[in-house]
Amino acid sequence: MQDIESSQSDNLSEGGARPEIIGLALVAVVIGIVTRFVTRSSLWLDEALSVDLAQLPLGQLSEALKHDGHPPLYYALLHGWINLFGTGDVAVRSLSGLFGLATLPLVWILGRRKGGPTLAWVAVAVVAVSPFAVRYSNETRMYSLVMLLVVIGWLLVDDVVDQGKATIGRFVGIAIVGAALLYTHYWSLWLLGALGVTALWKIWRSPDRAARRPWIGLVLSLVVAGLAFVPWLPVMLYQSAHTGTPWAKASRPTSALSVVLADNGGGGYGEQTLVAALFAVALVLGLFGYAVDRRTTSLDLRTRPAFRGAAWIAALTFAIGCVVSFASSSAFASRYSAVIFPFLALLAAAGCLCFASRWVRFGVVAVFCGFLSIGAFWNVIYHRTQMKAAADIVATSSKPGDIVIFCPDQLGPAGVRVMPSGLTFLAYPTYGDGKFVDWVDYATRNEASDPAAFASRVLADAGVSRSIYLVWNDSYKTLEGKCAGLVDALAAVRTPQMLLADDGSKYFEHASLIRFAAPS
């Protein structure tokens, strides 16, 4: 954006990238490729639920998503992908991995435009080993697609307002990408809103018609994207009224920011806080830092012109989203920041280069990417769910027809996926088969549920010949005490046998396993 992002006045745009920077970036790319396609964990709730939804006939997807809370594009793409490659863990995660890989060369182009070849290679390195980018390139969710679309859209916007390429084709491309973002994740509303507000400001402030023309075209493209989203509005409004985020409380904007920084550092391992702090420092340097000489780097509160626009759009998007979430009592999850991650990554990469010394630069980039890589590798070894451990135990002691209960139903999608066949699966409190979670009026339904009545129905269905397995965790929001009540109700009739203890220190999605053996 020429008025927001003029050419840099520092030394990022030097002739060519140093070989040591290129070599480091290539190593980072290799690490990024491996970590995007390798992980020990089976699919957890969100991933398994995505697969179950994507396996539905496309004609049923709209109605199913009314009970889930997301727009349909990613699920439609995953539907086609599953038809080609199947439903195995590696297969369904590979789609996100490919989105993540496709993002890397586009980040290189973006970095070269904003700061020359050195920034291009460092930006690729940062995105390649970023724990945030790696995780969501290795999950069967839409966030890797969001990041890819944001980078494509950024390049197109840069074409029309900075590069002097305001062609009809590019404006059409912006409209298509904008619509695709809206149909992928609802936080895209805030990104496009921030871009639209900025464009209107530029139109008002531009001195002549020629300067306003690209911004007017951009606004029209955003309007077309919004119109393309209108057919989905009834579903979105229904979701907004009935689904929400019952799994957590609303977050203050400051709390949401700390969560984003933490997730960009990875999660759950000892160096997470340090990596998050390094990321925050890199962001500050990227926006304010200038290399004065080989021994001095200063901060200019006027910000660096080349990155002012990126910082502005990211900050405004985040502010709008957080304010709306807090005002509507909706929870914030750090994954929503996928819509601004490309901006943050480029700023962090620029921050690593705010040093005049060639070898200081290399050292800073190497250390920063090295610590990011720890989070990337941690994603490979971290078990996102304990359901596979529970399923292995059930497989060794169950017989066909036995009943497996998931309490709450949020344990069902991941659990059903890995459990042995021939069993009957039930989810509390709906008595469904455990493959889906109906988020409509979730809290109200859970609060009205009766563990004793559920237990009586299960015991009647089990009779005297079928054992009952209960996979349970009593800490889920809106269900506190319900699963413990179910344990007590079953234990009043049958003797419980603890088979697996809840291990929250090792697993993200964790639960205990109890067997209530058949009396005969």
**pLDDT, tens digit, for every residue of 485-514?**
999 999 999 999 999 999 999 999 999 999
Rounded Cα–Cα distance for residues 217 and 214 (Å): 5
DSSP state for residue 138 in the 8-state scheme: S
- 364 has pLDDT over 80: yes
Which pTM was predicted?
0.94
- pLDDT tens-digit profile of 154-167? 999 999 998 889 89
Which of 30, 253, 279 lies closest to 132 in space, CA to CA? 279
DSSP state for residue 140 in the 8-state scheme: S
Tell me the one-letter amino acid at 489: A
Contact status, residue 349 vs residue 119, Cβ threshold 8 Å: yes
Residue 119 vs residues 6, 350, 361: alpha-carbon distances, Å: 16, 6, 11
Contacts of 205 (CB under 8 A, 6+ apart): 3
Asked if 428 and 310 sit in the same domain, the reply is no
Asked if 112 and 251 sit in the same domain, the reply is yes
When divided into structural domains, the chain yields a total of 2
Asked if 22 and 120 sit in the same domain, the reply is yes
Q: Which of 383, 414, 437 is the last residue of a domain?
A: 383
Cα 367 to chain center, whole Å? 25
- 6 has pLDDT over 60: no
Peptide bond into 342 cis (omega under 30): no
Q: Which of 335, 350, 383 is the last residue of a domain?
A: 383
- pLDDT tens-digit profile of 74-123? 999 999 999 999 999 999 999 999 999 999 999 999 999 999 999 999 99
What integer pLDDT is reported at residue 406 of this predicted model? 98
What integer pLDDT is reported at residue 329 of this predicted model? 81
Structural domain includes residue 23: yes
Asked if 397 and 458 sit in the same domain, the reply is yes
Q: Which domain holds residue 370?
A: 15-142+245-383
Residue 252 vs residues 283, 304, 322, 323: alpha-carbon distances, Å: 21, 29, 7, 8
Q: Which of 362, 383, 404 is the last residue of a domain?
A: 383
Asked if 321 and 261 sit in the same domain, the reply is yes
